[in-house]
């Protein structure tokens, strides 16, 4: 066999090996991106459930909670009042109108049935709500709830975040809120928006 044929065969093997390595590298990058996207979708779904629960807790109790036991107990045993509001407009003798508002309490509905129906949240599980889905070892979402001052007023604020991001490019000190670990709310402003929205 001539040197040219040997070099050609060696080069062909090298090219095939490089092509295989390149294909494997691209495929593994795509697979990793899909894994991160799937994992983050589950975390976002869990954060949305927690947000619904915290907003309901705020509606009933007048403040958010950073205590998981209180929040989970509220979801499990708490209830909303069902009310009916009616307004009666009375025309006064001098031409002005007076409005009489009557609010009638019709009953109550459990929080768990109202917020977490199987149609809206098919994967809802009260026992795992506080835990980041797929995290090994298990880790809870970090919850911060307190009052902050805005425009001279004391208002309620909340922030719930994933302390261990699935995506390694998500860093707490990132300039962009969308590149920080998944969260909703803020410690500095009155919002319950998620950084994925």
Q: Before 137, cis peptide (omega within 30)? A: yes
**Predicted pLDDT of residue 14:** 81
Residue 28 forms part of a structural domain: no
Q: Is residue 133 part of a domain?
A: yes
Measure the CA–CA gap between 145 and 151, rounded to whole angstroms. Answer: 19
Distance of alpha carbon 5 from the chain centroid: 62
- Which of 62, 42, 55, 40 is CA-nearest to residue 192? 55
Which of these, 145, 158, 144, lies nearest to 189 by C-alpha position?
158
Is 82 inside any structural domain? yes
C-alpha torsion 69→74→77→81, nearest 10: 170
State the Cα–Cα distance between residues 40 and 35, nearest whole angstrom.
9
Q: Is residue 69 part of a domain?
A: yes
- Asked if residue 21 belongs to a domain, the reply is no
pLDDT digits (tens, 9 = 90+) for 49-75: 999 999 989 988 889 999 999 999 999
Instruction: Decide if 10 is inside a domain.
Output: no
Q: Which pLDDT tens digits describe the chain residue by residue (197 residues)?
A: 677 888 788 888 888 888 888 887 787 778 777 888 888 889 999 999 999 999 989 988 889 999 999 999 999 888 877 778 888 888 888 778 888 888 877 777 888 888 888 888 888 888 888 998 988 888 999 999 999 888 888 899 999 999 888 887 787 777 777 788 889 988 888 888 888 88
The total number of structural domains in the chain stands at 1
Whole-number Å distance between alpha carbons of 114 and 27: 44
Structural domain including 168 reads: 45-185
User: From CA 64, how far away is CA 107, in angstroms rounded?
Assistant: 24
Strand partners, 86: 102
């Amino acid at each position: 066999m001539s040197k040219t044929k040997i070099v050609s065969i060696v080069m062909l093997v090298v090219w095939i090996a490089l092509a295989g390595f390149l294909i494997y590298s691209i495929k593994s990058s795509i697979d990793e991106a899909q894994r991160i996207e799937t994992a983050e979708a589950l975390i976002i779904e869990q954060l949305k459930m927690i947000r619904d629960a915290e907003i309901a807790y705020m509606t009933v109790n007048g403040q958010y909670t950073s205590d998981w036991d209180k929040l989970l107990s509220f979801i499990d045993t708490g209830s909303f009042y069902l009310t009916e509001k009616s307004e009666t407009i009375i025309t006064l003798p001098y031409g002005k109108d007076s409005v009489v508002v009557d609010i009638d309490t019709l009953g109550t509905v459990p929080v768990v049935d109202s917020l977490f129906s199987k149609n809206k949240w098919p994967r809802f599980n009260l026992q795992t709500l506080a835990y980041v889905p797929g995290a090994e070892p298990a880790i809870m979402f970090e919850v911060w709830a307190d009052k902050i001052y805005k425009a001279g007023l004391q208002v309620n604020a909340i922030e719930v975040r994933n302390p261990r991001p699935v995506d390694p490019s998500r860093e707490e000190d990132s300039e962009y809120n969308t590149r920080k670990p998944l969260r909703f709310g803020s410690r500095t402003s009155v919002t319950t928006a998620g950084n994925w929205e």
